[in-house]
A = this chain, B = another copy of it.
């Protein structure tokens, strides 16, 4: 292949490369080598294949491009800039300016170290933690298949993800590849940059798999390209991908990191550090690049505009016409589709939320959760999801007519079987949420650890994925410590921008679900029991609608309380029992239900003080987990009734007294706290 700037194509490719090199050098930080290697891939995809209108970057049925190897972020920023992608649909300002690129990796620049989805139009998902981008791309492809199957083919699109060795070494990507192969997601194309270089040296140090063989075994179509600079081969590969109708496609591209750099090409020195001025000079000379720093010849912009731009505008305009026709022929379905994509809840969606009668024997919150989920999903058509092979236990199946299963070749169902792959399930949830759907995913609470990196990304991206975690404490019983969450409530509450709900009875389940559905700027976590909980008598205790404020007074004394008793989930009934005992003994106690700490902290100070007066220092929190997330409310004089160790294997009803989680201990703790 010629390296020099001999054609407008080569000029455009080299513009991606030089902008990337210059930006990393200016920032004195970043990853130049991969953008230089993969510029031809991205150029070919964007300019010749991607269904993408730069003037309407949020067009719902656009093809998606995911840079899973997020460290190569300049590859994306350079491309978005050259492609003339706008800040918003119909906007005149560009999404990424040259000034933004000059400020790569600086405070307030949209060109962050790794792509951040809300920083600039054209960034489809936040990437950087390896494996997440490819796994998220599976969720995007699922969303396209679902829209196409449930509504119309016009809503289909393709999803491309560019990935590195690191992405494919991470377990989450194996899970994702397995799901994509199983589901025969023919609209999904991963491009694997096989450059043989990792941070510790050559990939042979740690990675010697037969990748094409592995992917074929997982049900993928595989294409190999010997040289990343071979535009014709790349073009043919993307064309071939579109002809494959029953499998996802992996394109393996053999590349040379920092292609063209005189001394650093093909070395891991070019991976994560600026090339240096003289190496850049040498590289630009090798490219025959005669322009200044951050300079882009006008014909490059024109070239992108005449290709990607013109093709995208035409596609969008055709789609608009198709959608207009579809809306005329299928008014109701078109309205439903539009309502889903708008993210707004349909009128009356919460009209039939279950109300549960008082019942001492009660019901497990996983069971009432299933009822509430079904009641909502029957009215909210974009709500869909599933479980990591635990649906019979998490009770998260949608059972009403028309819900159906999402399976290979039958993509209109709303029930998903993710297999025993929690991590990719959550990443898929992110991809579905980013595509405008409202996904829920479920597993046992203890296995939230398996999906934590994706949950963190939901939080960073403000993606309103609903996490339904059941079997939430030592109440799991006989399965023992490996299956009993103890630290997980505190550990998830620790993540910024996540709302964690642990309803204390089934009416709180209804109310918490209501709040969750309305919380669209963050992921929500619902933490539900395996075992039955009493349904509180709401004639006697305050209404469960207080749940919306995170914490509320359930039962109170006359005058100022001597002690505040607070709890969540399965321990709320112990709080109530202790409150009754203390009251009977003449101790002035207040019982507070705290289904969501995060929302309580977001209430105004007056409400917070009303519920938990500052001058009442005697406080007891009760939760069958560790105390860490309660200390802020307990202060130095509060007491905690809960866990301080891992659990044990035994029937649940034996474990609670064994670990001292009883109403009597709450009473004791209350008296101790009053005396502190």
Task: Say if the beta carbon of A210 comes within 8 Å of chain B.
Answer: yes
* A217 partner residues in chain B, CB cutoff 8 A: 209-214, 216-217
Contact call B629/A628, Cβ cutoff below 8 A: yes
Within 8 A of B (CB), among A379-429: 387, 389-393, 407, 417-424
* A387 partner residues in chain B, CB cutoff 8 A: 200
- Given A199-B392, A617-B636, A649-B105: A128 and B482 interface contact (C-beta under 8 Å): yes
Contact call B171/A172, Cβ cutoff below 8 A: yes
Contact call B128/A483, Cβ cutoff below 8 A: yes
Min CB–CB distance A585 → chain B (angstroms): 26
* Count of chain copies: 2
* A112 partner residues in chain B, CB cutoff 8 A: 480-481, 648-649
Contact call B114/A482, Cβ cutoff below 8 A: yes
Complex CA gap A166/B114 in Å reads 33
Number of interface residues of A (CB under 8 A): 113
Complex CA gap A421/B214 in Å reads 17
- Given A206-B418, A209-B181, A483-B128: A169 and B175 interface contact (C-beta under 8 Å): yes
Question: Which of A71, A106, A127, A200 has its CB near the most chain B CB atoms (within 10 A)?
Answer: A200
Contact call B632/A481, Cβ cutoff below 8 A: no
Contact with B along A301-335 (1 / 0, CB 8 A): 00000000000000000000000000000000000
Task: Say if the beta carbon of A107 comes within 8 Å of chain B.
Answer: yes
Contact call A166/B487, Cβ cutoff below 8 A: no
Contact with B along A197-240 (1 / 0, CB 8 A): 01110000111111111101111000000000000000000000
* A113 partner residues in chain B, CB cutoff 8 A: 477-480, 483, 649
Task: Say if the beta carbon of A449 comes within 8 Å of chain B.
Answer: yes
Contact call B493/A628, Cβ cutoff below 8 A: yes
Within 8 A of B (CB), among A95-133: 105-109, 112-114, 116, 126-130
Task: Say if the beta carbon of A453 comes within 8 Å of chain B.
Answer: yes
Complex CA gap A346/B634 in Å reads 45
Interface 9-mer from A337-345, A364-372, A494-502 = A494-502
The contact of A487 among B407, B496, B614, B655, by CB within 8 Å, is B496
Task: Say if the beta carbon of A88 comes within 8 Å of chain B.
Answer: no
Complex CA gap A34/B130 in Å reads 35
Task: Say if the beta carbon of A29 comes within 8 Å of chain B.
Answer: yes
By beta carbon, the residue of chain B nearest A635 is B636
Contact with B along A348-390 (1 / 0, CB 8 A): 0000000000000000000000000000000000000001011
- Given A480-B116, A481-B116, A490-B494: A648 and B107 interface contact (C-beta under 8 Å): yes
Complex CA gap A173/B172 in Å reads 10
- Given A114-B480, A479-B128: A175 and B171 interface contact (C-beta under 8 Å): yes
Min CB–CB distance A615 → chain B (angstroms): 10
By beta carbon, the residue of chain B nearest A119 is B649
* A487 partner residues in chain B, CB cutoff 8 A: 456, 494-496
Within 8 A of B (CB), among A169-211: 169-175, 178-179, 181-182, 198-200, 205-211
Question: Which of A109, A175, A628 has its CB near the most chain B CB atoms (within 10 A)?
Answer: A628
- Interchain residue pairs with CB less than 8 A apart (5): A105-B480, A113-B479, A129-B450, A171-B171, A171-B175
7 additional A-B residue pairs with CB within 8 Å, beyond A107-B648, A116-B649, A171-B175: A105-B478, A129-B483, A171-B171, A205-B417, A206-B417, A214-B217, A631-B634
The 5 closest A-B pairs by CB, nearest first: A171-B171, A213-B217, A206-B419, A631-B631, A112-B649
